[in-house]
């Protein structure tokens, strides 16, 4: 195992663990104090590190690690379990007491089977998305994956238009076209890694990402629609979704790798690297919630672009990625399009004050 990988593992784990408690205390809406710019930058730096490190670590466990290959379906299931416990912890903090926590769970979980059924839809979709991520990173380099995965932006935009009746500005549509063009450049002749020890199929990797980004867009918009349809707590909704997710992912384990899991064990092939990847996948949603709560789309765009750069640097150092002109041009185009997409819309329905005064003078004359 490369020493650089060991250093990255220890540094990332220490950094993430040290910030987890701090973010937990900030995430619950128990305080209305203003958030400083330093904290926003801090949240984005953590989110960027999580996104970049997750793809690199998962890529390492699927292609470079010399240990026995673990079952990816069990990793997805364990991730759902950890997310459930994290959400329970957040709901406990939000409720303020064990009695209120118990009452909330009984009311919204045990007495609301229809709500559980409603949240089972994104659970199934997210389960497909997470399993597709393993297939994609088994066949594509982490940097190529990071760039191509930004197709989730146009997929989410399309779902928002169709499901939430929202509109996009001309600049956003232009940025979507630019993003698709950048991804096409990257995928035209995918960059190759010289240190990968397994056979890869870039076509299957791209197809897996295509399915994953569609699932990401649909599930995200669907979950947003469910959240805004009632005043139910975000953490209650998460618990409802993760309970369904555990059932769904266990069913996937049984249907796809059930016999092998029974023979070799549920945690067969698990190493510290695999556990770290599962940990990153679990807390990634938590950090995303912080970023969504305290920052804007422009800052999130910078975070996504920074994650692409970090993944590229790590792929060159760890996997021997050979940067091509197509990849560099496509990645640059994607980063620019992400920034343009996040720019705030200009409200053209309201005239500036000076224009209003001028118009009023013309009327009086």
Residue 296, pLDDT above cutoff 90:
no
- Assigned token pair, 38: 């330093």
Tell me what pLDDT residue 203 has: 87
Q: Could you tell me what percent of the chain has a pLDDT over 70?
A: 75
Q: What is the mean pLDDT of residues 267-276?
A: 91
Q: How confident is the model at residue 21 (pLDDT cuts 50, 70, 90)?
A: very low
Q: What is the mean pLDDT of residues 113-139?
A: 89
Residue 47, pLDDT above cutoff 50:
yes
């Amino acid at each position: 195992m490369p020493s650089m990988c060991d250093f990255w593992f220890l540094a990332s784990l220490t950094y993430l663990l040290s910030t987890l408690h701090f973010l937990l205390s900030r995430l619950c809406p128990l305080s209305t104090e203003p958030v400083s710019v330093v904290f926003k930058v801090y949240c984005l730096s953590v989110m960027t590190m999580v996104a970049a490190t997750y793809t690199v670590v998962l890529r390492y466990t699927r292609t470079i690690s010399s240990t026995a290959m673990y079952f990816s379906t069990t990793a997805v299931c364990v991730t759902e379990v950890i997310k459930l416990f994290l959400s329970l912890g957040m709901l406990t903090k939000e409720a303020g007491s064990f009695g209120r926590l118990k009452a909330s769970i009984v009311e919204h979980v045990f007495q609301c089977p229809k709500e559980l059924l409603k949240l089972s839809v994104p659970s199934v979709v997210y389960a497909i998305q997470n399993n597709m991520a393993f297939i994609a990173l088994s066949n594509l380099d982490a940097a190529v994956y990071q760039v191509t995965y930004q197709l989730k932006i146009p997929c989410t935009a399309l779902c928002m238009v169709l499901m939430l009746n929202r509109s996009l500005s001309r600049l956003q549509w232009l940025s979507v076209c630019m993003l698709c063009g950048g991804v096409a450049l990257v995928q035209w002749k995918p960059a190759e890694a010289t240190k990968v020890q397994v056979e890869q199929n870039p076509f299957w990797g791209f197809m897996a990402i295509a399915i994953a980004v569609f699932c990401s867009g649909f599930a995200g918009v669907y979950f947003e629609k469910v959240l805004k349809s009632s005043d139910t707590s975000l953490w209650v909704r998460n618990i409802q979704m993760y309970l369904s997710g555990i059932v769904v992912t266990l069913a996937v384990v049984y249907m796809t790798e059930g016999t092998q899991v029974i023979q070799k064990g549920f945690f067969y092939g698990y190493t510290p690297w695999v556990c770290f990847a599962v940990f990153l996948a679990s807390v990634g949603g938590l950090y995303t919630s912080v970023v969504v709560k305290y920052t804007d789309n422009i800052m999130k765009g910078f975070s996504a672009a920074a994650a692409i750069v970090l993944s590229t640097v790590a792929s060159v150092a760890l996997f021997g990625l050979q940067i091509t002109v197509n990849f560099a041009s496509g990645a640059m185009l994607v980063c620019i399009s992400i920034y343009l997409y996040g720019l705030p819309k200009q409200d053209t329905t309201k005239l500036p004050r000076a224009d209003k005064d001028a118009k009023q003078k013309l009327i009086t004359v």
